[in-house]
Amino acid sequence: MNENAKTILIVDNDLDFLALERTHLEHAGYNVVSAENSTAAQEALAANKVDLVVLEVMLEHMDSGFALCYHIKKSFPNMPIIIVTAVAAKTGIEFDAATAEEKSWIKADVLLAKPARFEELKREIERLLAAAAASA
Amino acid sequence: MITINVNDKMVQAKPGETILSALKRANINVPTLCHMSNLFPTGACRMCVVEVEGQRSLIPSCAYPVAEGMIIKTHSPRVVRARKTVVELLLSNHPDDCLYCVRNRNCGLQKLAEELGVRQRRYQGACNDYHVDSSSPSIIRDQAKCILCGRCVRVCEEVQGVAAIDFINRGSKTQVGTAFSQGLNVSSCVNCGQCVMVCPTGALREQSYIKEVVAALNDPQKVVVVQHAPAVSVTLAEEFGIKPGKDICGAMTGALRQLGFRYVFDTAFSADLTIMEEATELAGRIQNGGVLPMFTSCSPGWIKFVEEFYPDFIPNLSTCKSPQQMLGAVIKNYFAKREDIDPRNIFSVSIMPCTAKKFEAQRPEMLESGVPDIDAVLTTRELARLIRLRGLDLNNIAPEPADTPFGERSTAGKLFGATGGVMEAAVRTAHYLLTGTELKRLEVKAVRGLDAVKEARIHIEGLDIGVAVVSGLGNARKLLEEIKAGRNDLHFIEVMTCPGGCIAGGGQPFGTDTEAVAARMSALYKIDHGENLRVSHANKSVQRLYQEFLGKPNGPMSHKILHTKYHRRDVVI
C-alpha cells in the first residue's frame, strides 16, 4: 500500500465489477479497499483512512446504498461519494444527483449510470478529490 | 416519362422510381414512418400502403416501382383502414405517457394516431419490460417507446458507418440494441445524435442537462457564462414556428441574458481562434514535413470515430481543441483571472447543435486540474425548452450584442456552422499568413454547398495545396480508405460528423430535412456576404487575446490550454 496515495473504498456486490475497478484504480495510482455489502463497507471505513467512496445502490436490498450514503455522511460529513449504479436499468426508477436539492437527500456528490467508462469514473474521482483538497 | 392514374388524376412518373416518389412530386400526401429519402426502402412499417388495381394485396408505395397505366388509390376506405390498424397495433404496446414524453406534440406516432382518428384502444398488447439506458452522456435510449421502424439502425450504419445499434432477438422480442446489450456508453456510438433526429418517437433523446444549468442559474455563488455555436442562431427560430433560414442571433442573446446568464459569448469567436491555431499548425506541418494530410478536429463525433475505427490516423488529427473547448479553456483561465473570479465559481454553459459535444465536454482531457473547461452542454432544442420554460417570446425581445471580450467574431468563424466552413475560413487565413495579403475573392466556391465530398486545389504563393471537405462519417470512411490505399494528393481535410455539418447536427430542431438544411446554410452565407469582418486573423479581440495572454499561435500557452491529445479507444465491438 502506497502511503502517499489516496485511498478509495468501492462497495458493490458484483465481484466482477469490484475486481475490474480495483485493477483500473490501482493502475491509476490509488489504494483500493473493497466491500461487498453495507456492513463490510462501514467496517472498512472504520479500519482505513478512506478519501473517497464509490458505491452501488443495490446491495443487500434494492436501496441499501442510500442508507449507506446516509451513514457515511453522518460519520464523515466531507467524504466525497460517487454512486455508480445499474438501478435505472434494473428497476426503471431513475435517480439524479444534479441539483443541490437532490444531492441533499441522495447524500452523494455524483451519480453515474452503469456501464460507466473508467475514464468517467476517474474524472469524477479526480474532480472531487481536487475540490476536497481545495476546501481543506 | 410514364403516366399513372392516381385517385382519378393523371400523374407523370419517371421510369424506375417508386410510387411514393411520384406521389410526393405530385403533392399527394401519403403518410410514412420508416421511409428515409436517399436510402434504399425497407417497406417495414406499412404506413405508406396504397391500393393498386389488379393487385390482390395493398402495396407499400415506398418500395414498389411505378408502371405505365397503373391505377392507384391512395386514400380508399380499405387503405385508410389498413393504415389505422397499423397505428393501432403500434399503440397496443406503447406506453400511454404522452404528457410526460419529451416528444409530446412532436411525435410521428402521435401525429398519425391523430390524423387517422384513433380514439380508442382496440388492441391491448403485452408490453415488454424494458428499461431506459441512460448511461451515455449524450443519448438516452428508451426501448419501451421504440416502434421498431429501424430508422436509427439505418442512419447509424448506412449514413454514418458506425453501426453501434442493430436489431436483436426475434418476433415480439425484437428490439434495437447494442452489442451484447451493453449500455450505449461503452458501445462504438460516436454520440452524433443522427438517430435522435430520425426517431419518430421518444425512444431516443438527448441526455438533458437543463436541471444542472437551472440549478447553477439559481445559485448566487456561481457566475454563469454561456457561449452559443455558429449553427444555433440560424436554427433556433424553427423551434418557435418560424420557417428555416432566419438568423436571430441578437434576440437569442437577449433571451439568454433574460434567462440569467451573466455573460453571453459567441463560439464563433473561438472558431476564429481555432483558425489561427489550426492554420499555423497546418503551415508548420507542410513546411516541416509533419504528418499529412491533416484532419480538422472540431467535430467530436469524428474524433471518437477515428479513435475507435481508424486509430492509425490519430497523428493526422489536428491537436487543436474544438472551438467549444477552446472558449471554455480561455474563460476559465484568462477571463477568470482578468475579472478576478475563482474559476471554480464559474459555471460555463455552451449551447450546441450537437449531442456529441456533451460527450466531448466531459472527456478527461478537457479537465485542467479538476476544473472542467465546460460544465454543461445544452442542445438547440434544450435551449428552446428553457426559453419556453421562462415564458419568453423571442419575437418581442430586442436584439442585443454579445459581451466582450469573446463576443466579437468574423463571418469566417460563423461559417463553421456549415460543411466547408472551416475550410473556407482556413483558406482565407492561410492565404494571409503565407502571403501577407488578403484573398481577392473571399468566397471559396469549391467548398460550398451540400455535396457529401468536395475537393479543390488551392494555390498560394507557389504552394499547391490539396483540400477536401467531407460530411457524414460514412463518406469520411470512404475517403480514409482511399488514403489508406495510397492516395497522397491531399494536405488538409475538413470532416464534419453530420451530413451537411453542424446545421444538420443531432441537437437541432426535429423535422430537419434537406430543404431546411439548405435554408440554414444560405442564412450563414448571407451573414458572410453582408458583414465587413470576414477573416479570422482580423478579429481584434483574437489579436488582443494573443497579445495579452496567449503569446503567439501554437506557442507554449496555446499548447497548454488550446491543444489536446487523442487516444486509441477500445469499445465493445
Check whether residue B251 and residue B312 sit in a common domain. Answer: yes
Structural domain includes residue B66: yes
Of B65, B89, B113, which one is at a domain's C-terminal end?
B89
Does A97 or B535 have the greater pLDDT score? Answer: B535
Contact B505, B196 (CB under 8 A): no
**A108, amino acid identity:** A
Task: Give the H/E segment covering residue B50.
Answer: strand B49-52
> Is B24 annotated in the active site?
no
B533 Cβ neighbours under 8 A, 6+ residues apart: B408, B409, B410, B411, B539
Q: Quick check: bond before B220 cis, omega within 30?
A: no
Minimal Cα–Cα distance from A84 to chain B, Å? Answer: 10
> Is B357 annotated in the active site?
yes
Rounded average pLDDT over B381-401:
95
Q: Residue B573's pLDDT is what?
A: 62
Measured in degrees and rounded to the nearest 5, phi and psi for residue B464 equal -110, 105
ipTM of predicted complex: 0.88
Structural domain includes residue B571: no
Check whether residue B393 and residue B530 sit in a common domain. Answer: yes
% pLDDT > 90, chain B: 91
Q: Residue B306's pLDDT is what?
A: 98
Contact B233, B384 (CB under 8 A): no
Structural domain includes residue B556: yes
Q: Across all residues in chain B, what is the average pLDDT?
A: 95
Q: Residue A104's pLDDT is what?
A: 87
Question: What is the Cα–Cα distance from B260 to B72, expressed in whole angstroms?
Answer: 57
CA-nearest residue of chain A to B133? A89
CATH number, domain containing residue B27: 3.10.20.740
What is the number of CB-based contacts under 8 A between chain A and chain B? 66
Q: Give me the number of domains chain B comprises.
A: 3
Range of the domain at B313: 222-561
The reply to whether residue B131 touches residue A91, judged by beta carbons under 8 angstroms, is yes
Q: Of A115, A126, A134, which is closest to B185 when you measure between CB atoms?
A: A115
Going from the N-terminus, what domains does chain A have, and what CATH number goes with each?
Answer: 7-129 (3.40.50.2300)
Q: Of B131, B214, B215, which is closest to A89 when you measure between CB atoms?
A: B131
> On the CB side of B189, how many CA atoms lie within 13 Å of its CA?
31
Q: Residue A131's pLDDT is what?
A: 87
Task: Please name which of B382, B343, B55, B76 lies closest in space to residue B214, comparing C-alpha atoms.
Answer: B382
Alpha helices in B343-418 (DSSP H): 356-361, 380-389, 411-414
Check whether residue B196 and residue B269 sit in a common domain. Answer: no
Rounded average pLDDT over B63-79:
96
CA-nearest residue of chain A to B345? A131
Check whether residue B287 and residue B436 sit in a common domain. Answer: yes
Check whether residue B237 and residue B262 sit in a common domain. Answer: yes
> Is B400 annotated in the active site?
no
Check whether residue B348 and residue B426 sit in a common domain. Answer: yes
Q: Residue B172's pLDDT is what?
A: 87
Structural domain includes residue B568: no
Q: Is B395 exposed, middle or buried (0-12, 13-18, 19+ CB in 10 A)?
A: exposed
Question: What is the Cα–Cα distance from B319 to B277, expressed in whole angstroms?
Answer: 9
pLDDT digits (tens, 9 = 90+) for B115-153: 999 999 999 988 888 889 999 999 999 999 999 999 999
Q: Residue B37's pLDDT is what?
A: 87
Q: Of B186, B364, B369, which is closest to A123 when you measure between CB atoms?
A: B364
Query: A16 touching B, CB under 8 A?
Result: no
Check whether residue B189 and residue B230 sit in a common domain. Answer: no
Check whether residue B260 and residue B142 sit in a common domain. Answer: no
pLDDT digits (tens, 9 = 90+) for B301-346: 999 999 999 999 999 999 999 999 999 999 999 999 999 999 999 9
Bridge partners of B352?
Answer: B379
Structural domain includes residue B106: no
Of B58, B89, B120, which one is at a domain's C-terminal end?
B89
Q: Residue B102's pLDDT is what?
A: 94
The reply to whether residue A116 touches residue B219, judged by beta carbons under 8 angstroms, is no
pLDDT digits (tens, 9 = 90+) for B406-419: 999 999 999 999 99
The reply to whether residue B212 touches residue A114, judged by beta carbons under 8 angstroms, is no
Of B181, B207, B233, which one is at a domain's C-terminal end?
B207
Check whether residue B203 and residue B241 sit in a common domain. Answer: no
pLDDT band at residue B89 under the 50/70/90 scheme: very high
Q: Quick check: bond before A77 cis, omega within 30?
A: no
Task: Decide if pLDDT at B476 tops 70.
Answer: yes
Q: Residue A88's pLDDT is what?
A: 83
Grid cell listed for B340: 478576478
Check whether residue B169 and residue B20 sit in a common domain. Answer: no
Q: Residue B369's pLDDT is what?
A: 65
> Is B548 annotated in the active site?
no
Partners of B186 on chain A (C-beta within 8 Å) are 115, 117
CATH number, domain containing residue B201: 3.30.70.20
Structural domain includes residue B20: yes
Structural domain includes residue B330: yes
Q: Of B219, B364, B372, which is closest to A119 when you measure between CB atoms?
A: B364
The reply to whether residue B215 touches residue A100, judged by beta carbons under 8 angstroms, is yes
pLDDT digits (tens, 9 = 90+) for A64-114: 999 999 999 999 999 999 999 998 888 878 888 888 888 888 899 999 999
Partners of B209 on chain A (C-beta within 8 Å) are 98
Query: A126 touching B, CB under 8 A?
Result: yes
The reply to whether residue A117 touches residue B186, judged by beta carbons under 8 angstroms, is yes
The DSSP line for B352-369 is: ES-SHHHHHHT-GGGEET
Structural domain includes residue B230: yes
CA-nearest residue of chain B to A132? B370
Q: Is B183 helix (H, G, I), strand (E, B) or coil?
A: coil
Check whether residue B191 and residue B243 sit in a common domain. Answer: no
Check whether residue B398 and residue B431 sit in a common domain. Answer: yes
CATH number, domain containing residue B256: 3.40.950.10
